[in-house]
Structure 1
Amino acid sequence: MRKGDVQTLRRLNRRAILNQLRRGPLSRADLARATGLAKSAVSRLVEELLQEGLLEEGPAAPSPLGRPPTLLRLKPRARMALGAEVGVEGTVLVALDWQGQVAWSKEWAHAPEEDLHARIQRLLLEVRPHLQDALGLGITLPGVVAGRRLLLAPNLGWREVDLSPHLAALPLPVALENDAKASALSEVFLHGEQNLAYVVLSTGLGVGVVAEGRLLRGATGAFGEVGHWLGEGVSPCRCGRRGCLEVALGLETLVKRYRALGGTASTLEGLLAGARAGEEAALLALRQLGEALGRFLANLAVAYDPARVVVGGRVAELFPFLEASLRASLQAHAFLEAHRRLPVAPSVYGHLAPAVGGASLFLARFFELGGLWAEGPRRNGGEGYAEVAFGDRYGLGA
């Protein structure tokens, strides 16, 4: 067996152990049975993982016979990743641990016209105190992302932007992704979803689609830019065309509709406060949005046939007020009987979901590599584990 094969096998075996423990505490004997590995191999690898601080031993499991086995579990917050959503009107930064728990979050607003360099500089300032504990920083953007390039972000007015110069000052590995796609990937990593549509609705509208466990990207990375499907409307869109779907469904339009119905607040927060207080105009505007989203999801189901839909972005916080009309509209317009019962739920992370998705890019990779994270040369004169290191400081590689 070649040396590279030994390294690969070690990584795969560690990954098998870590993935089993993600489901809950197990003993060494349980791990051997679940993974099919020899008990000696499990003991050796578990000892490695304990020494690296990835696992911890807990109380013994109840046993009717003999000595009760000691349980192993993933050590809480043993590894963390940072995720940032660089949005139209603000940035959200989170730290996510490898069990999917948000350790902390921070948000700040900025003017929509603020340029990318200024936004990255502020992000760098906020990230610096947390570099030591982070595997990397995943940045999500509301547009078409291809490698280090942002091809188009209509709501920010950015086209064909090479982000490499802006990222050079960030002293940790960085990954870039579209906000909806990163959010969809986080559902795969955190919940094992195999067929999913993740809808992000805030200023714009986008969808990340997972089919049979794989994220769909398209030839240019524009797969899921459903906000720019053309409808029958004539209102101008920031992309330069007229009648795009996100103009009708976007939350800016929601606030305008609410004002036209007699609402007095001028912001989404004010509208939400009105809905919580039972204001008729706010409740009616949200009910109308729910009906429109139900029709949209009926079309989405025909196009992508997901097993489940998760709704994220700012609209996740509005979901309790539009859920009933959304479900009624979906049932009325569904193409297949199965689509009438399509599960639809808000993201458990609410508006933090795109930033959580960014952090998940690194955490998913960490598990994929069996916890062997960019290791240096090994003892005994080995050449190291190049296959588990990042290809460069900006991307996740293959």
Structure 2
Amino acid sequence: MRKGDTQEIRRLNRRAILQSLRQAPATRADLARKTGLAKSAVSRLVEELLEEGLLEEGEVRPGELGRPGVLLRLKPQARYALGAELGVEGTVLLAVDWRGEVLWSQEWPHPKEEGVEARLEALKEAVRPRAEGALGLGITLPGVVAGPRLLFAPNLGWRDLDLSLKGFPIPVAFENDAKASALSEVFFHGEENLAYVVLSTGLGVGVVAEGRLLRGTHGAAGEVGHWTGGGRTPCRCGRRGCLETELGLQNLLAHHRALGGEAEDLDTLLALAERGEEAAMKALAHLGEALGRFLANLAVAYDPARVVIGGRAAELFPYLEAPLRAGLRKAAFLPVHQNLPVYPSAYGHLAPAVGGASLFLARFFELGGLWAESPRRNGGPYEEVALGFRHGFGA
């Protein structure tokens, strides 16, 4: 047996127990049966987890041969992480517990000309009084993120920035907003083949194939908003005809005004749609149909099992769904893609920040709750190895 293998086995066994309890409460006997571990091993590890405050005991349930068993479940809010989105319109900060419940959230706008340093400083001040007990802070951005660098965020006007931070009271990690959101779907819902579409000011996609996030050589996989076509509309990336100039929600507002509407922001347009205003309904139907055609192309490119719509578009989904599905059925390449499952994110516009928090929550489970145990064989602590700083989360 190599040095460190005993600790590795303990970690894997704890992970098996925690993952089983994520699905449903269970007795010790249930856990032994589901995980394949010896009952003595399950009892020992359960006692560890109870002492650490990760589990709690519930009601007594009749067991096999009349032997009662005590149900075990994950203790609510026993562990949580912070997530933040540095978006185009503003900043979102929230906390998510390891069961996926948003504990609190706050949002604030910012001047368009405000730079990354000022926004990170404001975020640091907001995090500081809420940092105690958090596993870490995952920060998402609408751009190409490669390790500790932001290569390009066109809609923010940021390029080639070092994201290494000092002075944050908890560990910090950065990720693209769509990729983080896709990873959160894998973590909270278990889907191993999906495309997560973030549609707000811009358009981005996070693709998970067989449980692994697609990144590409430079982290640019999924930047589909910058696919170019025959259009000539200038894009904030400096080119013309990028797809997000047609599908971005700023174009939705422009189309609404072209139809005689007067909405200056999405909240106003949504309120008009709720009242049945004709121009708002037409603009949303047009966007929905275009989004359906886009998903037909996405299905050919990545063949996902389902698509999740996030960003502000998730809040518009009730108005987008029917024309979206009609456009998808009409444009689908394969018959099976005509009925591709498409759903709005359960977290709405908070999804990118939830994705940021899930980066740390997923790693906590991956480590079996041994967040900062003794160094592993390579000499680095668990978090350095498991968080994958060299290649990024989910590499």
Structure 1 length normalisation: TM-score? 0.95
SS at match of 2:282: helix
Q: Is the 8 A contact 2:183 2:358 kept in 1?
A: yes
* Whole-angstrom distance in 2 between the partners of 1:136 and 1:161: 21
Deviation at 1:207, TM superposition (A): 0.3
Q: Is the 8 A contact 1:255 1:268 kept in 2?
A: yes
Deviation at 1:375, TM superposition (A): 2.7
Q: 1:51 — aligned with what?
A: 51
* Whole-angstrom distance in 2 between the partners of 1:359 and 1:135: 9
Q: Per-residue displacement from partner, 1:186-235 (whole Å, max 9, x unpaired)?
A: 01100011110000000100000000110000000000000000011101
Q: 1:304 — aligned with what?
A: 302
After TM superposition, list the pairs within 5 Å mapping 1:237-276 onto structure 2.
237-276=235-274
Q: 1:115 — aligned with what?
A: 115
Q: Per-residue displacement from partner, 1:248-300 (whole Å, max 9, x unpaired)?
A: 11011100110111112211111000000111110110000001001100111
Q: 1:35 — aligned with what?
A: 35
Moved more, 277-286 or 383-392: 383-392
Amino acid at match of 1:34: K
Q: Is the 8 A contact 2:363 2:387 kept in 1?
A: no
Q: 1:183 — aligned with what?
A: 181
Q: Is the 8 A contact 1:148 1:394 kept in 2?
A: no
Q: 1:91 — aligned with what?
A: 91
Compared with structure 1, are the counterparts of its residues 304 and 383 closer, same or farther at alpha carbon in structure 2 (3 Å cutoff)?
closer
Which runs of 5 or more residues in structure 1 are unaligned? none
Deviation at 1:62, TM superposition (A): 3.5
Q: Is the 8 A contact 1:375 1:386 kept in 2?
A: no
Q: Is the 8 A contact 1:375 1:385 kept in 2?
A: no
Q: 2:152 — aligned with what?
A: 152
After TM superposition, list the pairs within 5 Å mapping 1:155-304 onto structure 2.
155-164=155-164, 167-304=165-302
Q: 1:390 — aligned with what?
A: 384
* Whole-angstrom distance in 2 between the partners of 1:58 and 1:215: 37
Aligned length: 392
SS at match of 1:390: helix
* Whole-angstrom distance in 1 between the partners of 2:378 and 2:228: 52
Q: Per-residue displacement from partner, 1:123-176 (whole Å, max 9, x unpaired)?
A: 011111111120000000000000010000001111111111xx2121211111
* Whole-angstrom distance in 1 between the partners of 2:301 and 2:316: 25
SS at match of 1:113: coil
Q: After TM superposition, which residue ranges in structure 1, 4 or more long, deviate above 6 angstroms? A: 382-385
Amino acid at match of 2:78: A
Structure 2 length normalisation: TM-score? 0.96
SS at match of 2:4: helix
Q: Is the 8 A contact 2:373 2:381 kept in 1?
A: no
Deviation at 1:42, TM superposition (A): 0.6
Q: Is the 8 A contact 1:375 1:384 kept in 2?
A: no
Amino acid at match of 1:10: R
SS at match of 2:260: coil
* Whole-angstrom distance in 2 between the partners of 1:3 and 1:173: 28
Amino acid at match of 2:113: E
* Whole-angstrom distance in 2 between the partners of 1:11 and 1:257: 54
